[in-house]
Amino acid sequence: MWRILVVEDSPTNMLLAAEILRFAGHIALEATTASEGLAIARNEQPDVILMDIHLPDMDGIAATAILKADPATCAIPIIALTASIRTGEGKSMLEAGFDGCLSKPISYRDFLAEVESVANRHQGRQPGQG
């Protein structure tokens, strides 16, 4: 079981992501703004963060840079959630500090596979082992 922070301003996308995670046995923490996501990340230390790129108060790239620069949160893997994946954009997201990239609309299998792959790669353990 992973503790996963979803930073997403769309109520529909938030509901879908959180329900998929809960159905798979994970704990979903929710934030609807980048500022709220930063605070939750620092306080809760989730195993993985899913970060929407287009947020109302600050874009997800800037929020990720803040998290990666903070010693308290720099080790938390962050997966970009974007509706606008174009050729090469996945690579640019990795260069911007993200540990993975998912496109919207969310595909159930791809979504869970990417979240669990990134979590396992960065945590070095299986869900529920710590």
Give the model's pLDDT for residue 3: 96
Q: For residue 113, is it within any domain?
A: yes
Q: For residue 88, is it within any domain?
A: yes
Give 76-106 pLDDT, tens digit per residue. 999 999 876 554 555 677 778 899 888 888 8
Total tally of structural domains belonging to the chain:
1
Q: For residue 129, is it within any domain?
A: no
Give the model's pLDDT for residue 84: 64
Residue 5 near residue 41 (C-beta atoms within 8 A): yes
Q: Residues 118-126: what's their mean pLDDT?
A: 73
CA distances for 107 relative to 16, 39, 122, angstroms: 10, 28, 22
Q: For residue 86, is it within any domain?
A: yes
Give 12-46 pLDDT, tens digit per residue. 999 999 999 999 999 999 999 999 999 999 999 99
Q: Residues 58-72: what's their mean pLDDT?
A: 95
**Structural domain for 101, as ranges:** 3-122
Question: Counting Cβ atoms within 10 Å, is residue 11 exposed (0-12), middle (13-18) or buried (19+)?
Answer: exposed
Is residue 125 predicted with pLDDT exceeding 60? Answer: no
Residue 43, H or E segment: helix 34-44
Q: Can you give the CATH number for the domain in which 113 is found?
A: 3.40.50.2300
